[in-house]
Structure 1
Amino acid sequence: MAAWEGIEEAVMVAQMGSFVRAAQRLNTAPSNVSRAIDRLEQRLKTRLFTRTTRVVKLTDSGRLLITRFARLVAERDEAFATLDSGGEPHGDLRITCSAAMGERFVAPIMRELCRKHPQLSIHLNLTNRVVDLVGEGYDLAIRTGDLTDSRLICTQIAQRRVLTCASPAYLAQHGTPAKVGDLAQHACLVGTSDEWRFRQNGETVLWRAQGRWHCNNGHAIVAAAREDMGICHLPEFYVSEDIKNGRLAVILDQFRQADESIWAVYPSRRHLSARVQVAIEALRQAMPSVI
């Protein structure tokens, strides 16, 4: 039995929800599709589908295996197409990134990439949820900080700098903190995390921020800081314009944590994909070195 027998048929039935429609897409007879899947199920010693006269549904084992089979088929087709296209990136590129960084930096870069390569389709998911790249079938993620998933390969594309800021009016009224502990006497504007990181004597210092304004949106935190409500602790790209225009002032900079790496992260099985390579290179070239 050929190693691929039944795999493409199973993927197509799962996608189409019908043996007849799958056969039409594969340009073969429904009986051929059914026999190929029967042989595949015998080989795997498990059922992939439950069948009635009206409905075809994946079993639990089927759902688990079809995701992997679909990747195999896509990678096979990509390998063949790469030869025909002379290495030009093509097909679907699925990317995930946090909402703020994605909107500000990644989306514009990927739009330009899409314009440059007409055979490439880009699906960009902006979410603050940590997506399982392997399990959910993503090609690429943009992430910060330490990475622990051994299934993934990472390439640094930029760095992120976190600054502590307040408005000049707030500091004039309440004083400027001289050390991290002085934050206890101030109103902290708390974002997605109340754990603020600083660096002192070569070691990381964690400060549990407390205040009356909490919001999971960085722009809303910056707006509160501009309105003299307290001290914020955010990536530089949120506050750079306000610092430049004098609306916010950097404080405690001598205790600023080391810049965090921003990574392009991808499953190891995709490291030769032309579309992933061209996307990483575009991000590396177009992203500011520090954001």
Structure 2
Amino acid sequence: MKWQGISEFVAVAEEGSFTSAAHKLDISTAQVSRQISQLEARLNVKLLYRTTRTVTITQEGSVYYQHCRAVLDGLQHAEDELLNLQSKPQGKIKLTATVTYGEQVILPLINDFQTLYPEVDVEAYLTNKRVDIVEDGYDLAIRIGDLKDSTLMARKLSQRSNFVCASPEYLDKYGTPHTISELSRHNCLLGTLDYWRFHVDGREKSVRVSGSLRYNSGFGLTQAALQGIGIVQLPDYYTKQYLSEGRLVPLLEAYRMAEEGIWAVYPQNRFMSPKLRVLIDHLVKNIE
């Protein structure tokens, strides 16, 4: 009994007339009117003002409508979830990621994903600019670091560390810095920012550095460091291989920033589609 009349009431509140609501629900206008009258009688409150020409929602009706709309949405979402759990992943996914991380990590995993789910089409746009994934129509964004947009959903994929490092040849020639202040005496190779981040006395500290090169390419900076030109601060996905091989040496480890999260971020939709769910699961499983 508690459910009777709710769909009819919500339809009238949204459509603005009994006739339009009846058409939307594919029932008779008389049935809509009868169900709402019975609902008002059961609640002992007037939900709608009716005249021969207009229908106006009352203050009480407005409050009741908000709750009823949420209940109906919840039921629809539940049905959609059940249907999608049983459906096969298919369709298109549009995603974005930063250029280097996308090239080195995400795109190879998407290639593997395509072999597993050939009916899912993936369109990837790599950029270091922060895009508005809702406004620009993205299903998924891979983001690194702190998440500031609380309206989006997020799932952690992995984490990264930023290493300060140099080649053994550079250190043999110019010495090894043991404190942050010593960086002023070294050739610090810059990216898009003119400062590096460190962890000092429990807090993040930005330290201005300078050097003979500035590239907006992590790959270019890595190659410069390998050639002994200077010291760099770069994420581990640039330096991990060379650190393990000894071609780069980690520096100032006591001041290294804590690991930053790498996230799969997606709009707060009514439900997550199977195609997006299996892609995110694939990334979580395979990203080191």
Please, what TM-score do these two structures have when normalized by structure 1?
Answer: 0.69
How far did 1:169 drift?
Answer: 1.2
> Cα–Cα, structure 1 residues 174 and 244, in superposed 2: closer, same or farther, change >3 Å?
same
Aligned to 2:249: 249
Partner of residue 190, structure 1: 190
Following TM superposition, by how much is the alpha carbon of 1:190 offset from its aligned partner in structure 2, in angstroms?
0.3
Aligned 1:1-291 pairs, distance under 5 A: 1=20, 83=83, 86-269=86-269, 271-288=271-288
Kept in 2: contact 1:139–1:270 (CA 8 A): no
Whether the 8 Å contact between 1:271 and 1:277 is mirrored in structure 2 is no
Name the counterpart of 1:21.
none
Provide the C-alpha distance between the structure 2 equivalents of 1:88 and 1:253, rounded to a whole number of angstroms: 48
Amino acid at match of 1:149: D
Percent identical pairs in the alignment equals: 37
Q: Matched residues in 2 for 1:95 and 1:270: separation?
A: 19
Residue 277 of structure 1 deviates from its aligned partner by 1.1
Q: Does structure 1 retain, via aligned residues, the 8 Å contact 2:84–2:273? A: no
Distance 2:241 2:154 in 1: 30
Change (3 A) 1:184 1:85: closer
Instruction: Map Cα deviations across residues 130-185 of structure 1 (whole Å, 9 max, x no partner).
Output: 11100011000000111111221111110011100001111111111111111011
Q: Deviations over 1:39-82 (max 9, x none)?
A: xxxxxxxxxxxxxxxxxxxxxxxxxxxxxxxxxxxxx9xx9899
Report the AA paired with residue 210 of structure 1. S
Q: Structure 1: which 5+ runs fail to align?
A: 6-75
Deviation at 1:239, TM superposition (A): 1.1
Counterparts in 2 of 1:179 and 1:4: CA distance versus 1, 3 Å: farther
Give the AA of the match of 1:260: E
SS of the counterpart of 1:190? coil
Q: Which moved more, 1:251-260 or 1:263-272?
A: 263-272
Q: Is the 8 A contact 1:187 1:230 kept in 2?
A: yes
State the secondary structure of the residue aligned to 1:269: coil
Q: Distance in 1 between matches of 2:193 and 2:86?
A: 47
Question: Of the two, which has the highest radius of gyration?
Answer: 2
CA RMSD of aligned residues (A): 2.3
Displacement after TM superposition at 1:229 (Å): 0.7
- Alpha-carbon shift at residue 244 of structure 1 (Å): 2.0
Cα distance in 2 for partners of 1:271, 1:264 equals 16
Instruction: Tell me which amino acid in the other structure corresponds to 1:223.
Output: Q
Aligned counterparts of 1:84 and 1:153: Cα–Cα separation in 2: 19
- Tell whether the 8 Å contact from 1:196 to 1:233 is kept in structure 2 after alignment: yes
CA positional deviation for 1:3: 11
Q: Cα deviation per residue 1:94-150 (whole Å; 9 max; x = unaligned)?
A: 110001000111101111112211221111111111111000110000001111112
Report the equivalent of 1:48: none
Count residues with an aligned counterpart. Answer: 216
The answer for the alignment partner of 1:15 in structure 2 is none
Q: Give the whole-Å Cα distance in 1 for the aligned partners of 2:108 and 2:23.
A: 39
The separation in 2 between residues aligned to 1:188 and 1:89, in whole angstroms, is 48
